[in-house]
A and B are shown apart, each in its own frame.
Chain A
Amino acid sequence: MSEAFVRVRDLKIGATVYPPGEKPHDIEIVHGVSFDLEKGKVLGLIGESGAGKSTIGLASMAYGRGGVELTGGEVWVNGRDILQSSKGDLRALRGGEVTYVSQSAAASFNPAKQILEQVTEAAIRHGKFTKAEAEARAIVLFEKLGLPDPQNIGKRYPHQVSGGQLQRCMTALALCPEPDLVVFDEPTTALDVTTQIDVLMAIKEAIRDTGVAALYITHDLAVVAQVSDDIMVLKMGDMVEYGSVDQIINAPKEDYTRALVSVRSIEHEEKQPTREPVLICENITARYKGTKFDVLKDVNVEVHPGQTLAVVGESGSGKSTLARVITGLLPQREGRVHFAGRDLNPVMRTRPRDDLRELQMIYQMADTAMNPRQTVGTIIGRPLEFYFGLRGAEKQKRIQELLDEIELGKGFQDRYPAELSGGQKQRVCIARALAAKPKLIICDEVTSALDPLVADGILKLLLDLQKIEDVAYLFITHDLATVRAIADSIAVMYQGEVVRYGTKTEVLSPPFDDYTDLLLSSVPEMKLGWLEEVIANRKMESAGN
């Protein structure tokens, strides 16, 4: 009987948890997972945060991160159970036979050493190649991964290349010692969509050409569908479904898989502008203090009451800066912000209280947007107290109303942010914004730090609240699927300028300008063969190259 190259049987992983105010205790975080992986094949591990996908990925190197313990089962790599291996054997395995590509290349490279030195280090240390051989191999890999100037890029330092390039360098690092298995842990999650497809394509081709086995970990089913042969869906440390890509995408058996496949299918009819715009940005030009470069150039957009303007663009396109100008955190150099029938003072500190109240903001990271030492009741209650002078029972009643509106219900008032899940935290932030009875809420990437299913819930909530409260949203995002779900009008930003602006239908219908075309086509679709199709058809290189 031929045995698979990687064979995981009934893998159990435990960890110790330290809940505040309680005694530390052990829990099981992966409950008996099994799979096989052949050389030259890619297995996608998919699930939301806490599903145990990274933990399983690291277990294939017999490694448990931060107090995680591999408590049971077998992990066979190259004909031996590595959970029983000696430390010396594991040292030969890690970085030699099995290598790892992490999510943040920027945090994983040593900023003080040249890229080539780091890429070849493992191969040389494991005695697989001499220095000259390893460097020659690295250059071949750089070329294969589509990096510019493969001969010399290795002489640069990590900060001298872009994020997408660095992620490809890390793939080269992982492939350099000729490993048998590579673990990719969310390698494209931190990248812009347009950069993501280049990196995905490079990874896919490199895996194919080198014939390694790969574990590809991600939370994005559309991404994993492009690179994997098989997919395992995980939830809370349990296997939900395991099958070929084709079967998982086109004929999912389990409800949970179906929910993941159909995520972002919110239908939203675009509304026509009816009343006077609530926000008009006229010829906004802005730059940061001490720089000689305009981050916003002559930006003109309007938001209508009760409607959503989505501002789309890659990182560095100036979309968050636009929010800072509107809120007055960064006074513009030229142009004016017209809000609810009056001109807003450029400097936030000089704005009257009503201007501040009617313009609220929700942040990307709900974690840092709430004071960890304040209870939910204080966080939501403070705007009520501050703007409306509510006290005592009246305030309590209004807090509870708001909590009901964000579908949290009773028992949340006395909790601290650390005691909430990611989605609940973002809901509390929404309630805090709503408490001020605003006319406009600026949503800065509010769903990008959340799992797809949770993000869907937040988007639905925002749409429902818009109907009830008649509030307008200026929705900043890099994710076009989100835009399709909630926008009434769209502004596409590129290098500080609005390159395309209009109602949703106008912006999303051809003919496209090159940039919008690139952006639209880069959003991963839940379809086999999508990646090759896009690469073949696109007109413009992404800015990350």
Chain B
Amino acid sequence: MIKNIPFSALIGLIITGAYFFVAIFAGFVAPYGMAEVVGDVWEPASAAHLLGTDNIGRDLLTRMIYGGQTTIFIATAGTILSFVTGSTLGFLAAVLGGWADQLLSRLVDLLMAIPSLILALVILAMVPVTVPVLILVMGLLDATRVFRLARSVAVDINVMDYVEAASLRGEGRMWVIFREILPNALSPLVAELGLRFIFMVLFISTLSFLGLGVQPPLADWGGIVKENKDGIIYGIGAALYPAIAIATLAISVNLVADWVLNRTTSLKGGRG
């Protein structure tokens, strides 16, 4: 399987892997302390500061590394939360059907009717903004999209003869959901996982840029753009590094997601 991995997916895996590695071991990799002021404001790139310094003289590479850690951690946790809640509720709605399905689906419609960024801003304006709160708000808002996908996939699987055979055997709902439906719904969900992760990165970056996300002095990519945006007028590119990081991460994760999607759909062979 690994032997047949296409070149594009390999690139995606390597870059994604590198980002995660740096994020996990930020403390060891980063040359300076996270909030340590080590030089002048907006110093150009040099041997001591590979990417230069930021708007108050902190090492930009260090900020980027710690920022990546925060962003990737929040995005990962948010994605996991949205997938666990979204797919469990989606499967449940599909299996239960009737009024339970109606209730859950309409509730989700209601949430989706309000733009999630506005809703998130309103909620975050009311409660203290901490990392767990951010994860919770983003994860639950995003769960609505996962819910829709999981439900529609599960509705199709739920009418298959093997699910009927399982309920005729007397199996409970848990078996039906986790042993009959989940394994067959996994491929579209895994492909969606990659996309949702990237949307989560963008979401947290947007919130931070607007000042309602990760709070200083904690670094994150959206926050770095916000802190350094004034430099752009003076021709200082510090605000562009997070943008490059977000773009490369997005592309590489999607290359992997594409590969997973392709691989699992071709598995279906002629039966699709």
Contact = CB atoms under 8 A, between A and B. Distances in A.
Interface of A: 18, 20-21, 23, 327, 329, 348, 351, 353, 356-357, 360-361, 363, 365, 367-374, 382-383, 386, 418, 432, 436
A371 B162 contact: yes
B253 to A, nearest CB: 25
A371 B177 CA distance: 13
Contacts of A383: 169
A372 B169 contact: no
Contacts of B171: 386
B169 A386 contact: yes
Contacts of B267: 20
B106 interface: no
B266 A353 contact: no
A164 to B, nearest CB: 27
12 contacts: A20-B269, A351-B170, A356-B168, A369-B161, A371-B162, A371-B184, A372-B184, A372-B271, A373-B184, A374-B183, A386-B169, A386-B171
Contacts of B164: 329
A356 B169 contact: yes
Given A356-B168, A372-B184, A386-B171, A363 B271 contact: no
Given A23-B4, A374-B179, A383-B169, 9 more contacts: A18-B269, A20-B269, A351-B170, A353-B170, A371-B179, A372-B271, A382-B169, A386-B169, A432-B165
Contacts of B170: 351, 353, 356-357, 386
Q: Give 10 nearest A-B pairs by CB, closest first.
A: A373-B183, A369-B161, A356-B170, A368-B161, A371-B162, A363-B161, A368-B160, A353-B170, A370-B162, A369-B162
A418 B271 contact: yes
Most chain A CB atoms below 10 A, which of B162, B164, B167, B271: B162
Contacts of A432: 165
B167 to A, nearest CB: 7
Interface in B135-186: 160-162, 164-165, 167-171, 179-180, 183-184
A382 B167 CA distance: 13
Given A353-B170, A386-B170, A386-B171, A369 B271 contact: no
A385 to B, nearest CB: 11
Contacts of B165: 361, 363, 369, 432
Contacts of B266: 18
A368 B171 CA distance: 18
A282 B266 CA distance: 49
A353 B168 CA distance: 10
A510 B23 CA distance: 84
Interface secondary structure of B, over-half rule: helix
B126 interface: no
B185 to A, nearest CB: 10
B163 to A, nearest CB: 8
B1 interface: yes
B162 A368 contact: yes
Contacts of A21: 1
Contacts of A351: 170
A370 B4 CA distance: 29
Interface of B: 1, 4, 160-162, 164-165, 167-171, 179-180, 183-184, 266-267, 269, 271
Nearest to B186: A373
A494 B161 CA distance: 25
Interface centre among A382, A383, A436, by most B CB within 10 Å? A382
Contacts of A329: 164, 168
Contacts of A361: 165, 168
Contacts of A436: 169
Contacts of B161: 363, 365, 368-369
A532 B161 CA distance: 40
Nearest to A355: B170
Contacts of A368: 160-162
Contacts of B4: 23
A106 to B, nearest CB: 19
B180 A418 contact: no
B180 A371 contact: yes
A437 B165 CA distance: 16
Contacts of A348: 167-168
Contacts of B162: 368-371
B183 A371 contact: yes
Contact of B168 (A23, A327, A371, A373): A327
A370 B271 CA distance: 13
Contacts of A357: 170
Given A356-B169, A356-B170, A418 B269 contact: yes
A436 B271 CA distance: 29
B189 to A, nearest CB: 13
| Among B161, B167, B266, B269, residue most surrounded by chain A Cβ atoms (within 10 Å) | B161
Nearest to B157: A371
A209 to B, nearest CB: 38
B262 to A, nearest CB: 12
Nearest to B171: A386
B85 to A, nearest CB: 23
Contacts of A363: 161, 165
Contacts of B179: 371, 374
A258 B4 CA distance: 46
Contacts of A418: 269, 271
A194 to B, nearest CB: 27
A356 B167 CA distance: 9
Q: Which of B164, B169, B183, B267 has the most CB of A within 10 A?
A: B169
A119 B267 CA distance: 38
Given A18-B266, A372-B184, A367 B271 contact: yes
A81 B104 CA distance: 62
A369 B170 CA distance: 16
A452 B165 CA distance: 26
A330 B266 CA distance: 37
A7 B161 CA distance: 46
Nearest to A356: B170
A341 to B, nearest CB: 20
Contacts of B183: 371, 373-374
A12 to B, nearest CB: 22
A356 B269 CA distance: 34
A348 B164 CA distance: 11
A428 to B, nearest CB: 12
A432 to B, nearest CB: 8
A367 B161 CA distance: 9
Contacts of B269: 18, 20, 418
